[in-house]
Amino acid sequence: MRTTLFHRLAWGALALTFVVVVLGAYVRLSDAGLGCPDWPGCYGRLDVPDEIHQIAEANAVYPHRPVEPAKAWKEMIHRYCAGALGLLVLALAALAWWNRRRPGQPLALPLALLGLIVFQSLLGMWTVTWQLKPVVVMAHLLGGLTTLSLLAWLVLRQGRYGGNSATVDDGALRGYALLGLGLLAGQIALGGWTSANYAALACPDFPTCQTRWWPPMDFREAFTLWRGLGVSYEGGVLANDARVTIHMMHRLGALVIFLYLGWLSWRLLTVSRNRAVRFAGLAVAILLAGQLALGIANVVLHLPLPVAVAHNGGAALLLLALVAVNHLLRPETAA
């Protein structure tokens, strides 16, 4: 296992990305996404107005969005952490370029990560300036989790975790593991769409939805991605049937994920002779069970903030576990 400066920076960026993803979920779920109506500052400042005259000045400039310090601080702390992550990824890319002629030094992936971070910054700006437009909020979530996954892959490949340990028996599992990763990404997108459209409580009962197994739905409205600009999406704009549709599709997606990843984890545990692969399969099974429990708890407990944030964090951990599985099932190459 290597412990170069580049590898240590990649580990630091990975840990900070997880923090940023969870913080982003906390900001969104506590309705603080518009805690600062401008970007990158907050009411024209690098911190939050907290003195009486500062609040009065900010309210005069933004009369449609009076200062709420608690929400504003949540948003700014998230931005500070995201900014620190951007600097860390920039350092990774610069170090990769400086050492590009060294054997085994990855270059394409660090540069791609830098480009992704720049695009994530734009999505963060549009999230505010386009007033929580659902497609942008969902894309911002997916961008954060893509950053997390790519950094995890970089760390695993550079650290040589698991070594050249894939066996002949593991070959048949590679396609299944990649499919599992793709299915999970789709379910995370559905979860982001559910949250961005305030549809998490569209079905307040479980396992039925509004006391029905198949309530009235509106797929066309539910999955219209673009509705123009100039509309505030805070609190959601969809009618009941459209929100129910989104919620039910997320539930059905959760069932598909539970069955497939449950089967995949069983295969990893019983087919592979690689101890690391079996351990990763066990991690997938545990995280999968936890995610199912948290998803049900969100409904029956009416979306308590700690449970909702934990559900987002659990999705990130399950994603990391599947990235690790895919790493372990493939021969080592340069990242």
CA 244 – CA 257 distance, rounded (Å): 20
Determine the Cα angle at 270 with ends 265 and 271, to 5°: 100
Query: Please, are residues 89 and 117 in contact by the beta-carbon 8 Å criterion?
Result: yes
Looking at the annotation, which residues are catalytic? 75
Alpha helices in the chain (DSSP H): 5-29, 52-61, 69-98, 108-129, 134-159, 171-196, 219-222, 240-271, 275-300, 305-328
Among the listed residues 163, 127, 123, the one whose alpha carbon sits nearest the alpha carbon of residue 36: 127
Task: Look at phi and psi of residue 4 and say left if phi exceeds 0, alpha if psi is from -120 to 50, else beta.
Answer: beta
CA 58 – CA 49 distance, rounded (Å): 7
Q: How far is CA 94 from CA 113, 149, 246, 250, in A?
A: 12, 20, 42, 40
- Lookup result for tokens 């929580």: 132
Q: How far is CA 243 from CA 131, 224, 249, in A?
A: 19, 12, 10
Residue type, 259: L
Determine the Cα angle at 214 with ends 212 and 216, to 5°: 95
Q: How far is CA 2 from CA 7, 163, 275, in A?
A: 7, 11, 21
Residue type, 1: M
Tokens of 231: 């509309």
